[in-house]
Structure 1
Amino acid sequence: MNCVRLGKWNVLPSLMFFVAVLGMASVSVGQDKPSFELSDDVRDALTPLFSRILKADVSRATVELSAETVMGGKVVETADSVYQIASKYPNQYTVYYKSADDRKRLYSDGEKGVVALTPEAFFRLPQVASCQELATRSEINLGPYPEAVLALTLAGVDPAVTFLGGMKSVEVAGKMKYRGSIQSIHLRGQQKDGVSWDLWISDEGKPRPLRLLVDLTPMLVATGQVAVPQGYAYSLRYDFKSWRVTGEVDDKLFQYTPPREAVEYESLEEYQQQAAQELAEHPLLGESVPDFELTLLDGSIVRKADLKGKVIVLDFWATWCGPCLQAMPVIAETTRKFADKDVQFYAVNVGESSSLVKGFVSEQDWDVSVASDPDGDLIEAFTAKSIPLTLLIAPTGIVEAVHQGFPGEAELKQQFTDELEVLVQGGRIASSVPADAEPQK
């Protein structure tokens, strides 16, 4: 399993990987009926907006998403993205999700569905989901918790399924002037899993959503999969920059015409397999490691020259990358067994602030040397297209092995043990030796 990045390194917010790893792909619990009685003021606030969406034949919306990671009351990471959505009831839509490192578009003309993964790659869906089905549970990765924004922007959808199903409580938090000018109603919901949301709706004859704030921190704490640092918080803020459920929507928006150079894949799995094959061919394998300088979390500096004559293990990771966190304990345990044979292991965090990394690492039972690469300079120098990326470097400075992704605990442990056994004895790993190289004597 890999966390894929292409082009200049950009990061998603910390711990976002839990959305995928834990299979929690919806803000609400789903079809569950509310376990509480809606108060009259909540019903009066939600019914006009939900009815507009449910009765709508068309929709257009632009929604900006800001995912914020907070540590000790300060925002330490922010990742921005945007949704552009158009739809016609019951099953025509286009959903464009654009972030710093992902541009994906979902099309349905009512009969055929297409997912444009990149401008050069697409695949056709075996069947078309209705607007309601898409909003209830999206099978395509369209950002963190896409169901929340889809429930408020697709024509003919019943938002109550998402915003009232599986809830512990919903209340009117008050009325206010949104951004100082728009009269609005502020509602607050608490899910059974601890996740909370705040929704601001314009208080007018034809209400519209203004902002949705989702606090995922309680869910992350409750999972127990990774220790969440004290003072950590992670939230999603959706701002509805434009929104309408009236007027005309051109059918051309729902039709996909592939560019001439685009490649059609049979499925998402085929595309991922092809991408994995390309990632496996790392350009540094069998080559001299580039000069590097590691800045450890305690501020000390480790340079390539300082490690001359040692076996070096460099592992690139991030707090949001699930496979990275699965691989880390395995690599740490295996390399620790070779510590008395001049094997040095450094875990290089990519693209996150040192304050966030310090807080996160302090809660983990890893006992490893961690370096910080907040601007992604090192990951660029080591030409990585995905993480986790781990390089095994011989005392000669040659990159003898490259591991990308997490194949599983047992397999990774065996691979590292076998390779380190060779390297500490001054040997070479066959996969790093050019085919036309002279055999070793």
Structure 2
Amino acid sequence: MSKAEQFAKKRKNRLMIRTVVLFLLFGAVIFAIVSKDTEKVLAIGDKAPDFELVDLEGNKHKLSEYEGQGVFLNFWGSWCGPCKTEMPFMERQSKEFEEKGVHILAINIKDTRLKAESFRDQYGLTFPIAQDKDESVRRAYNVIPLPTTILINKDGYIEQIIAGGMDEEQIQEAMESIQP
């Protein structure tokens, strides 16, 4: 067999291998898309999933117990820059709106209890901070970026989903929008 024939044969083999690998990858992608268990993504107007978490003081908070009131449900982490920025604004607005039937429930993601307590103390936060240790609530609400705030109206339905940090005016407007 000549060198040209050997070269052509090697080239044909490489092409065949590449084609098979490409076909397998394409098949794997299609299989992943078709067979994926899809979670329902929450949207405005959906009933907010109920949950029960314990705050840093040991008090239980069940979302359904807030029915008749607005809930500013904020998911955050101590390492999150925008979370650090919005927390003082949230604290000020929580004092303004608690008497008006709007409550902040902050849900900490991935911090140790000590880290969450230290953060709370550093920022002088008085609203409840619960920890979602197994991240089941984060998953139920399909929260990915931090901070994310879910505004829940007095009837327990989602009014708005806000991914990213907010300034004080935005927080005030958000709390007004869920005031009973």
TM-score w.r.t. the length of structure 1 is 0.30
Q: Which residue of 1 aligns with 2:86?
A: 327
Q: Which of 357, 363, 366 pairs up with 2:116?
A: 357
Instruction: Give the aligned residue type for 1:374.
Output: K
1:374 to 133, 136, 149: 133
Aligned partner (choices 375, 389, 400) of residue 148 of structure 2: 389
Partner of 1:294: 53
C-alpha displacement of 1:394: 0.3
Partner of 1:314: 73
For 1:290 and 1:393, locate their aligned partners in 2 and report how far apart those are by CA, in whole Å.
10
Which residue does 1:55 correspond to in 2? none
User: Separation in 1 of the partners of 2:176 and 2:75?
Assistant: 22
Gaps of at least 5 residues in structure 2 are 1-24, 27-40
SS of the equivalent of 2:178 reads helix
Displacement, 1:292? 0.9
Kindly indicate whether residue 62 of structure 2 is the aligned counterpart of residue 303 of structure 1.
yes
Instruction: Describe how 1:41-120 pairs up with structure 2 within 5 A.
Output: none
Pick aligned residue for 2:171 from 413, 416, 435:
416
Alignment match, 2:18: none
The amino acid of 2:162's aligned partner reads H
Structure 1 gaps, min length 5 = 1-258, 261-281, 427-441
Distance 2:45 2:123 in 1: 33
Question: How many angstroms does 1:294 deviate by?
Answer: 2.0
> How many correspondences in the alignment?
142
- Residue 364 of structure 1: how far off its partner (Å): 2.4
Across the aligned residues of Structure 1 and Structure 2, the Cα RMSD in angstroms comes to 2.0
In proportion to residue count, which structure has more strand?
1
CA deviation profile, 1:114-136 (whole Å, cap 9, x unmatched): xxxxxxxxxxxxxxxxxxxxxxx
Following superposition of structure 1 onto structure 2, how do residues 394-405 of structure 1 map, counting pairs within 5 Å?
Answer: 394-405=153-164
1:340 corresponding residue in structure 2:
99
Q: CA deviation at 1:316?
A: 0.6
Q: How does 1:165-314 map to 2 (within 5 A)?
A: 283-314=42-73
Q: 2:94·2:127 contact (CA, 8 Å) conserved in 1?
A: no
Identity %: 27
Residue 334 of structure 1 deviates from its aligned partner by 2.0
Tell me if structure 1 keeps the 8 A contact 2:71–2:104. yes
The answer as to whether partners of 1:318 and 1:351 remain within 8 angstroms in 2 is yes
Identify, as 1 or 2, the structure richer in helix. 2
TM-score (normalised: structure 2):
0.71
Task: Give the superposition deviation at 1:422.
Answer: 3.5
- CA distance in structure 1 between the partners assigned to 2:87 and 2:178 by the alignment: 20
Q: What is the CA-CA distance between 1:368 and the residue it aligns to?
A: 2.3
Q: Secondary structure at the match of 2:103?
A: strand
Q: 1:419, 1:368 → 2: CA distance?
A: 17
Q: CA deviation at 1:343?
A: 1.0
Query: What SS does the corresponding residue of 1:288 show, helix, strand or coil?
Result: coil
| Alpha-carbon shift at residue 403 of structure 1 (Å) | 1.3
